[in-house]
Amino acid sequence: MSKIEIKRTLPAHLPPQTRRHDFNEVVCGYTVEEAVAEAGRCLQCKKPLCITGCPVKINIKEFINFIAQKDYKSAYKTITDANLFPSITGRVCPQEKQCEAACVLGNKREPVSIGHLERFVGDMARREAWHEIHGRQTLPKKAAVVGSGPAGLACAYDLAKAGLTVIVYEALHLPGGVLTYGIPQFRLPKEIVDSEIENLTRLGVEIKTNSVIGRIHTIEELMTRFDVVFIGTGAGYPMGLAVKGDALNGVMSANEFLTRVNLMHGYDFPRYGTPVGIGKNVAVIGCGNTAIDAARTAMRLRPDNVYIVYRKRLEDSPARKEELRHAQEEGVQFVCRTETKEILSDAEGWVSGMDCLRSDEGSSASFLLEVDTVIYALGTLANPIISRTTPKLKIDKGGYIYTDKDTLMTSIPGIFAGGDNTKTQGTFTTVIHAMSTGRRAARGMLEYLNFSIEE
Contact between 151 and ligand SF4 per CB under 6 A: no
Contact between 234 and ligand SF4 per CB under 6 A: no
429 binds, among ligand SF4, ligand FAD, none (CB under 5 to 8 A by kind): ligand FAD
319 binds, among ligand SF4, ligand FAD, none (CB under 5 to 8 A by kind): none
Q: Which of 85, 169, 307, 400 binds ligand FAD (CB under 6 A)?
A: 169
Q: For ligand SF4, which is the closer residue by CB, 118 or 293?
A: 118
C-alpha to C-alpha distance for 14 and 33, rounded to whole angstroms:
19
What is the smallest separation between the CB atom of 178 and ligand FAD, expressed in angstroms? 3
List residues bridging with 165 in a β-sheet.
Answer: 142
Q: Please, is 282 exposed, middle or buried when counting C-beta atoms within 10 Å of its C-beta (0-12, 13-18, 19+)?
A: buried
Contact between 54 and ligand SF4 per CB under 6 A: yes
Contact between 233 and ligand FAD per CB under 6 A: yes
DSSP structure string for 353-371: EEEEEEEETTEEEEEEE--
Contact characters 79-108, ligand SF4, x per CB under 6 A? ----x-----xx--x-x--xx---------
Q: Count of residues binding ligand SF4 (CB under 6 A)?
A: 15
C-alpha to C-alpha distance for 336 and 315, rounded to whole angstroms:
10
Note whether 51 and 121 are within 8 A (CB): no
279 binds, among ligand FAD, ligand SF4, none (CB under 5 to 8 A by kind): none
Distances (CA, A) of 42 to 10, 58, 120: 15, 15, 16
- Look at residue 145 and give its three-state secondary structure: strand
Contact between 35 and ligand SF4 per CB under 6 A: no
What is the smallest separation between the CB atom of 407 and ligand FAD, expressed in angstroms? 18
What is the smallest separation between the CB atom of 342 and ligand FAD, expressed in angstroms? 26
Residues ≥6 apart with Cβ < 8 Å to 395: 387, 401, 402
Contact between 93 and ligand FAD per CB under 6 A: yes
Contact between 183 and ligand FAD per CB under 6 A: yes
C-alpha to C-alpha distance for 249 and 118, rounded to whole angstroms:
43
214 binds, among ligand SF4, ligand FAD, none (CB under 5 to 8 A by kind): ligand FAD
Note whether 214 and 385 are within 8 A (CB): yes
Note whether 187 and 89 are within 8 A (CB): no
Contact between 192 and ligand SF4 per CB under 6 A: no
Contact characters 408-447, ligand FAD, x per CB under 6 A? -----------xx--------xxxx-x-------------
List residues bridging with 350 in a β-sheet.
Answer: 249
C-alpha to C-alpha distance for 384 and 41, rounded to whole angstroms:
47
